[in-house]
Amino acid sequence: MKNIIANLLTLAMAAMLCTSCVHAANEAEQNDLDSSAVSSFIADMVRDHGFEEIRLQSIFDSAEYKQSIIDAITRPAEKMPWYRYKKIFVTDDRARAGVDYWHKHADTLADAEREFGVPTEIIVAIIGVETRYGAYTGKYRVVDALATLAFHYPKRADFFRSELKEFLILARQQDVDPLSIKGSYAGAMGIPQFIASSYRNYAIDFDDDNRVDLWANDIDAIGSVANYFRRHGWQPGEPVIFAVTDMPSNYTELERSELKPNIDYAQLQQSGVEIDGTLDPDTRVALLEFEGENGPIFRLGLDNFYVITRYNHSRLYALAVYLLAQEIRERYENLM
């Protein structure tokens, strides 16, 4: 009997060890990037951009596939209903911190608004929504995020492969180790969360120290956000959005827009749409619908609202930025 029990215990231990080995093997396999895709990418970078093959191979030997990145990108906050999304970003704490950030960087923000025409509160709100004013810039190594999405997310593989290329070029230009840079699950970096292509195209040296640093330099971050908005068509002094105060009973038949202004305001007026302000009849607007807790909420977005969506292609994001910006400005002015 003792021998039987001993044999059973031995078999159980062996089974447990075998299971552990299989689990470890599966984890190791999951952490591996697609080697053939990586090799092809390296060859392209060597041929087209003059990288050293041995250096790139070393980087990708250290890079890891992260399932959590795939999980995150398939369930972004922007898929939430508006009434839940708003509670994440338009908060008392974030508005209060925005006022503090404005006070701390008042001169730089004033310079940016004067040079680029972008309101201070919009710049502050962008940085507040993106990273809580630089406090949370991301936990993933950017190379892991971009490699995972470039080689294991077919839906947007071309985009992330291009961003991976841009990131490696950026790291070389900035003389930084690409393995040392952390960011979001989508590879956005620094205080304003620029993706690599935006960093290379829109980031500026706003403090004239001969280095463009969005990772640790608030002055460059502020100037770069303002430059990004101007380059995407921000219209100084023009409104962003209007609340709709009255909708016709047949509102479901009206033409909607996901983001871009696509209809003259006069056409909506004729249908019975009223807003909390005045607008030239020939102004192009977007009729936007948001999911409120007690039913749909409607807004008219203008060109400047569309510009905010060039930072993040979500109407929820743009409305959150706008509302946070208004709250920050109101609080800031009340303290003056």
Cα torsion 26, 28, 29, 30 to 10°: value is: 90
Say what the pLDDT of residue 4 is: 42
> What pTM was computed for the model?
0.89
Distance of CA 93 to the CA centre of its chain: 20
Six token digits for residue 72: 């995150």
Give the position of tokens 């390296």.
42
Say what the pLDDT of residue 31 is: 57
Judge whether 333 counts as a catalytic residue.
Answer: no
> Per DSSP, which regions of the chain are E strands?
140-141, 182-183, 241-246, 263-264, 274-275, 284-292, 295-301
pLDDT in tens, 37-54: 999 999 999 999 999 999
The number of beta carbons lying within 10 Å of the beta carbon of residue 336 is 4
Nearest residue to 244 (alpha-carbon basis) of 280, 273, 278, 269: 273
Instruction: Provide the β-strand partners of residue 243.
Output: 299
> Per DSSP, which regions of 122-184 are E strands?
140-141, 182-183
Query: Which one of the listed residues 113, 121, 130, 289 is annotated catalytic?
Result: 130
Say what the pLDDT of residue 78 is: 82
Q: How far apart are CA 133 and CA 129, in angstroms?
A: 8
Say what the pLDDT of residue 335 is: 87
Q: How far apart are CA 160 and CA 80, in angstroms?
A: 24
Say what the pLDDT of residue 27 is: 40
Strands 295-301 and 241-246, sheet pairing: antiparallel
Say what the pLDDT of residue 25 is: 40
Give me the tens of pLDDT residue by residue for the chain, a chain 336 residues long. 444 444 434 444 444 444 444 434 444 445 588 889 999 999 999 999 999 999 999 999 999 999 999 999 998 888 899 999 999 999 999 999 999 999 999 999 999 999 999 999 999 999 999 999 999 999 999 999 999 999 999 999 999 999 999 999 999 999 999 999 999 999 999 999 999 999 999 999 999 999 999 999 999 999 999 999 999 999 999 999 999 999 998 888 887 777 999 999 999 999 999 999 999 999 999 999 999 999 999 999 999 999 999 999 999 999 999 999 999 999 999 987
Say what the pLDDT of residue 41 is: 97
